[in-house]
């Protein structure tokens, strides 16, 4: 309906525009263009000479006013002329006496509304166009509902997701369960004088199932569910966001008890007074309004606010205080059992071969979150369909894991024999050093098939067990493993390539962290150097606060360089002593393109592997785990 009116309005404006244009161009004066304008005296002499055939006299003014009349006519030779004269009446008599055909036009009566229209019309038109643009800028037909909240209300059409669809985060589910119990039977809690949590904040990295869990809560609770996103409140005009918050809570009040869910909370809940360009009035007002609503002035509310964010660090502290978002539910990256459960959820409605073992898949996917695991299963299903299979097999799932971790294989990328050789030595270098150094994660796979958009080859290390602490020697070993690709290139070819850029980046980062954050440098001691500073405007840290002098900065650089150099020579020694073995493994890798963990193990022991790649694939590392210390792991080495 609104749309029709809008379109109709547009057409009306367009038609009016065209009509005025035509009107403006077709006024009588303009149509007289083909008449030659001549002087009055020339006209008189032409008249005397009898050259004029037809004469037309038109007086545009009101009668009584003495002013010029328009005189136009045609000469005997067909030439048309135009001039202006004063005594039009006498002229007509004279011309008629000379035998010219004379017509006199009555003065045009210009009505008052006509002149009003011609003077006002352009102004009205301009105003119309301006209003139209203003109208459409504010989102079409919603001029009047600008301050209405954009939250979606679900009553009976609530999401069908339940807690059974969310796997591997039992603690989080338990916490939410309690909130839901409250919504269902508040008297049980209020009887004991317990206050109900007003706000629940779901915190965790992207893809860990925060949105999913909130939707499941709505599905379980069986109460009305308002769903909004933080960005719904963000508007260019000051006060609109606050009005929307007010509106949302006012609506919620009518439906209580209910759940309000705000996804991506950081869009509104950002720390006040932060950011570039001062002010940020709009966001602050919105946040203030939210705080007020959360306090629930009359205390009679029984609606619950659930919010999700992956940046709890930038939220305003006032939001997090008790009485507001006092329940924080952390959605962590799932552990091996969690991954197994999530995989099972997503495998439910698909057909799998009998040899598919979910626990093996779970162990091979350290660090992946729920969204990755879902994607993995989907990739495997797509591959199986491409292979024209009825069931998804382990082969497709393995490929799915690698696709999710490193991107799709790109066999079509043409790589010359020489480059292939360099890549093979590079990867074998990584793998051998990883194997030789004690306590490093076992090598699961080496490949020289390009993947994704960057990796030309890769070595996959999978950790053996949960690790929450990392020792200094572990870190040194990691750096050595990272550098060993470069070392291999240098040892074998006497030259180095750009292929080690990512390795060097990660190695340097780790070394710097050791020195500045972990107190692992003897020279600089246990001081934490530098603070990560949030660059609010970009939402990520691009700058570091330096809380140390130039001398210390120099010392840090020296220390980092020292660590890197030491690790480099360590890797060089390891590979230098095993040059022949490296040649042998590299040649097998060149031929086979992919080596799995057990094959590599055998080759390292000096055995040979049969070239048809029939090595048994039982080498599942027991219980790999990736979470914990937050340091870059070697995992996937490019
Ligand atoms: P976010 O934490 O970024 O909001 P989502 O909740 O949107 O992540 O998760 C994205 C998708 O990943 C979900 O739709 C779901 O299919 C899958 N997923 C994530 N975590 C889980 C989980 N714990 N159990 C089952 N599926 C999950
Ligand atoms: Mg989300
Ligand atoms: Zn490398």
What CATH code is carried by the domain that includes residue 229? 3.40.50.300
Average pLDDT over residues 501-510: 91
> Token match 């030595």: residue?
425
Ligand 1: which residue has its CA nearest to atom 5? 209
**Residue 310 CA to ligand 3 centre (angstroms):** 31
For residue 575 the two structure tokens come to: 């590979």
Residue 109 is predicted with a pLDDT of: 60
E strands of 76-218, at which residues?
A: 80-85, 101-105, 152-154, 199-203
Residue range 30-40, pLDDT digits in tens: 444 577 888 88
**Tokens (6 digits) for 148:** 């209405």
CA-nearest of 273, 257, 377 to 317 is 273
Determine the residue of 165, 202, 206, 209 to mutate for testing ligand 1's pocket, defined as the one with the most ligand atoms within 8 A of the Cβ atom: 209
Domain containing 360 — which CATH number? 1.10.8.60
Q: 462 CB less than 6 Å from ligand 1?
A: no
- Asked if the structure places residue 625 within a domain, the reply is yes
Q: Per-residue pLDDT tens for 2-34?
A: 566 667 777 887 887 787 777 766 655 544 457
Q: How far is CA 4 from CA 8, 11, 141, 415, in A?
A: 6, 11, 11, 59
Q: Which of 85-89, 106-110, 132-136, 609-613 has the lowest mean pLDDT?
A: 609-613
Do residues 446 and 467 share a domain?
yes
CATH number of domain containing 538: 1.20.58.760
Catalytic residues, by residue number, are 427
Residues 324 and 345 in one domain: no
Residue 411 belongs to some domain of the structure: no
Q: Is residue 139 part of a domain?
A: no
One domain, residues 601 and 482: yes
Measured by CA distance, the residue closest to atom 14 of ligand 1 is 212
Cβ contacts of 175 within 8 Å, gap of 6 or more: 200, 327, 329
Pair 171, 310 in one domain:
yes
Domain that holds residue 28: 2-112
pLDDT-derived band at 561 (thresholds 50, 70, 90) equals very high
Residue among 487, 513, 515 nearest 499 (CA): 487
Tokens for 623? 């219980």
The answer to the question of residue 145 being in a domain is: no
Phi, psi for 411 (deg, rounded to 5): -65, -25
Ligand 1 contacts CB of residue 307 (under 6 A): no
Domain shared by 36 and 161, yes or no: no
Tokens of residue 346, six digits: 């997503």
- The answer to the question of residue 62 being in a domain is yes
Q: Are residues 478 and 574 in the same domain?
A: yes
- 595, 593, 589, 598: which is closest to 621 by C-alpha? 598
324 near 198, Cβ under 8 Å? Answer: yes
- In this structure, the answer to whether residues 209 and 280 fall within a common structural domain is yes
Q: What is the pLDDT of residue 381?
A: 93
Residue nearest to atom 15 of ligand 1 (CA): 371
Same domain? 462 vs 372 = no
Cα 617 to Cα 264, 303, 585: the distances in Å are: 43, 54, 19
Q: Is residue 138 part of a domain?
A: no
Nearest-atom number in ligand 1 for the CA of 166 is 24
Q: What is the mean pLDDT of the chain?
A: 80
One domain for residues 548 and 592: yes
497 dihedral zone (left: phi>0; alpha: psi -120 to 50; beta): beta
Given a cut of 50, is residue 588 above it in pLDDT? yes
**Which domain-ending residue is among 330, 350, 376?**
330
Cβ–ligand 1 distance for 371 under 6 Å, the answer yes
Distance 167 CA to ligand 1 centre (A): 9
**Domain final residue, candidates 63, 90, 112:** 112
Ligand 1: which of 160, 173, 208 to mutate, most ligand atoms within 8 Å of CB?
208
Of 399 and 89, more confident:
399
Residue 209: nearest ligand to its CA? 1
CB atoms within 10 A of CB 195: 12
Looking at residue 514, its pLDDT comes to 92
Is residue 615 helix, strand or coil?
coil
Contact by Cβ (8 Å): 456, 448: yes
Preceding amide of 257 cis, omega within 30:
yes
The DSSP result for 365-379, as a single string, is -TT--HHHHHHHHHH
Q: How far is the CA of 635 from the centre of ligand 3 (A)?
A: 12
Is this structure's pTM higher than 0.85?
Answer: no
Give pLDDT, residue 299.
60
CA of 485 to the centre of ligand 3 (A): 5
Q: CA-CA distance, 532 to 544, in Å (whole number)?
A: 5
Is residue 143 situated within a structural domain? no
Res. 342: pLDDT tops 90: yes
β-sheet with 443-447: strand ranges across: 594-596, 443-447, 458-461, 636-637
Mean pLDDT of 31-51: 80
Rounded distance from Cα 217 to ligand 1 centre (Å): 14
Ligand nearest to the CA of 488: 3
323/342 same-domain check = no
pLDDT tens, position by position, 237-252:
677 788 888 888 888 8
Residue 135 lies in a domain: no
Number of folded domains that form the chain: 4
Indicate which ligand has the atom closest to the C-alpha of 448.
3
- 210 Cβ below 6 A of ligand 1: yes
Q: How far does the centroid of ligand 3 lie from the alpha carbon of residue 497, in Å?
A: 11
Cα torsion through 329, 332, 334, 335, rounded to 10:
-110
| Residue 55 C-alpha from the chain's centroid | 76
H-only helix segments in 26-105:
28-31, 40-48, 88-97
CA separation for the pair 213, 259 (Å, rounded): 13
User: Are 376 and 293 in a shared domain?
Assistant: no
- CB of residue 429 inside a 6 A radius of ligand 1: no
Of 376, 404, 432, at which residue does a domain stop? Answer: 404
pLDDT category at 426 given cuts 50, 70, 90 is: very high
DSSP one-letter string for 266-324: GGTSB-TT-STTS--HHHHHHHHHHHHHHH-TTS----EEEEEES-GGGB-HHHHSTTS
Looking at the fold, whether 325 and 340 belong to one and the same domain comes out as no
The residue assigned the tokens 């105003």 is 127
């Amino acid at each position: 309906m609104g749309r029709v009116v809008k379109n109709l309005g547009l057409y009306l404006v367009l038609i009016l525009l065209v009509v005025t244009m035509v009107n403006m161009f077709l006024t009588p004066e303009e149509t007289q263009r083909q008449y030659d304008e001549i002087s009055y005296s020339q006209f008189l002499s032409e008249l005397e000479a009898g050259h004029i055939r037809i004469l037309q006299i038109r007086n545009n003014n009101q009668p009584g006013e003495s002013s010029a009349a328009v005189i136009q006519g045609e000469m005997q030779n067909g030439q048309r002329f135009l001039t202006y004269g004063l005594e039009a009446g006498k002229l007509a008599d004279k011309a008629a006496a000379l035998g010219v055909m004379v017509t006199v036009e009555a003065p045009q009566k210009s009505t008052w509304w006509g002149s009003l229209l011609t003077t006002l019309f352009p102004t009205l038109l301009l105003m119309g166009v301006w209003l139209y643009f203003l109208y459409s800028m504010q989102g079409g037909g919603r001029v009047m509902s600008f301050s209405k909240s954009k939250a979606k209300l679900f009553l009976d059409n609530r999401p069908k997701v339940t807690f059974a669809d969310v796997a591997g985060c039992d603690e989080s589910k338990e916490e939410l369960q309690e909130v839901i119990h409250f919504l269902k039977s508040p008297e049980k809690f209020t009887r004991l004088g317990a206050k109900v949590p007003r706000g629940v904040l779901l915190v965790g990295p992207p893809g860990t199932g925060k949105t999913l869990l909130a939707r499941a809560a709505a599905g379980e609770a069986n109460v009305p569910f308002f769903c909004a996103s933080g960005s719904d409140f963000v508007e260019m005009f000051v006060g609109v966001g606050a009005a929307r918050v007010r509106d949302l809570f006012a609506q919620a009040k009518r439906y209580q008890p209910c759940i309000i869910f705000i996804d991506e909370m950081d869009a509104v809940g950002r720390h006040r007074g932060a950011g570039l360009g001062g002010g940020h009035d709009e966001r602050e007002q919105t946040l203030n309004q939210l705080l007020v609503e959360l306090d629930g002035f009359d205390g009679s509310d029984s609606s619950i606010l659930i919010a999700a964010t992956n940046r709890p660090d930038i939220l305003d502290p006032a939001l997090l205080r008790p009485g507001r978002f006092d329940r924080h539910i952390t959605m962590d990256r799932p552990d091996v059992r969690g991954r197994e459960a999530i995989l099972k959820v997503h495998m439910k409605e698909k057909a799998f071969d009998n040899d598919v073992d979910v626990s093996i898949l779970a162990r091979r996917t350290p660090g992946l979150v729920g969204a990755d695991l879902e994607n993995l299963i989907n990739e495997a299903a797509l591959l199986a369909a491409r292979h024209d299979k009825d069931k998804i097999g382990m082969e497709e799932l393995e490929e799915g894991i690698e696709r999710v971790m490193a991107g799709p294989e790109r066999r079509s990328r043409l790589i010359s024999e020489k480059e292939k050789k360099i890549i093979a030595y590079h990867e074998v270098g990584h793998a051998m050093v990883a194997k030789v150094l004690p306590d490093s994660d076992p090598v699961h796979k080496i490949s020289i098939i390009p993947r994704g958009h960057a990796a030309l080859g890769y070595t996959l290390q999978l950790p053996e067990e949960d690790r929450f602490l990392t020792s200094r020697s572990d870190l040194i070993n990691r750096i050595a493993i990272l550098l060993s690709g470069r070392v291999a290139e240098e040892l074998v070819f006497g030259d180095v390539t750009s292929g080690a850029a990512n390795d060097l980046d990660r190695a340097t980062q780790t070394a710097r962290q050791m020195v500045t954050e972990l107190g692992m440098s003897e020279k600089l001691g246990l001081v934490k150097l530098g603070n990560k500073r949030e660059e609010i405007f970009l939402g990520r840290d691009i700058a570091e606060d330096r809380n140390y002098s130039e001398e210390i900065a120099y010392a840090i650089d020296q220390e980092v360089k020292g660590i890197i150099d030491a690790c480099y020579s360590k890797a060089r020694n390891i590979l230098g002593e095993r040059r022949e073995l490296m040649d042998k493994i590299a040649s097998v890798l060149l031929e086979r393109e992919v080596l799995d963990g057990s094959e590599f193990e055998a080759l390292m022991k000096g055995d040979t592997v049969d070239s048809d790649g029939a090595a048994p694939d039982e080498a599942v590392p027991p219980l790999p785990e990736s979470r914990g210390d937050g340091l870059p792991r070697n995992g996937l080495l490019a």
